[in-house]
Structure 1
Amino acid sequence: MKPLPPDKNGIVYSQIEVNGVNSLVLVDGTILEEAFCWQDRYILLFVINNLGFEELLFIYLFDTKINKIVDEARIGNLYAYDFVSDLQVISEDTIFFKFITKYGWILKLFDQPVRTFPFSFKHFFSIKRPFSSIRYFSVVPNNER
């Protein structure tokens, strides 16, 4: 991750670098908390924006073959402050981490992209995802496993 200077609106983006090579892909956030390689093709990135009392966690799945973010999620709320902690690889496709909630989150990567309803109201106020009917991973509060 290479943070860029703020744009004219004061928003800071970062560029993804893979093995020191700039991918030219821009993402929100400035601090890389963790990165995982998956299936020798994807890189799962946990990135925070470090804005003080409006902390957001951005989760990106970057496809190195097509040089593109294929799925993403954002966790956080206004006036919430926290950091990613207790990050654990539970299995080859499942990761546990804590951020904002007491019990943490479970992220599950899918072997193949799955068709889903384009958006969900279930976690509407805590998890934001782009409008899409294809998902490469799910992220849910740990107490819902």
Structure 2
Amino acid sequence: MLMSGVPRGKFRPAFRGWRAGRPFWGGLLLTLGGAEILLTLKASLDVVLHVGMQGLAGYLLPVVMLLCGLLILFSPSQRLFYSVIGVLVSLGSWVTSNLGGFFVGLLLGVAGSCCTFGWLPDQEPRVSRRQRRKEARAAKAVAQPLEREAGQTA
């Protein structure tokens, strides 16, 4: 039993179900990209490159990235709009926020936005390789006795 009152075996399937209904990895990458850019803005002056407009836009764009990532996670019905805004803001962070958080935040934001844009909620969940092999073995096990019976009667 966990401290929250949810049995240990019930949390993981519940989280997987929640995660399957939204573009989880895209939203997470976009959120991490925004957070990384915000952290590089707070780096020491020895590390920071002063490129472009360092004023309000330097803080505004990573905050918008972070919000878009969170909105993708918690409101997946509007994922296309948030992913387009996320990729534009991520690319804009190149100019305003230390080369997009030294390219790491920029790449995380673009990758997350692209993953989100390409996510299809209507698609059947992928069957794991292990599950496909198990089903193939079961089908083969059922087919072998039937072939033997057919060979004996002929």
Q: TM-score range by the shorter chain?
A: under 0.3
Name the one with the larger strand percent. 1
- Greater Rg over alpha carbons, structure: 2
Name the one with the larger helix percent. 2
Q: TM-score, normalising length from structure 1?
A: 0.24
Q: TM-score, normalising length from structure 2?
A: 0.23
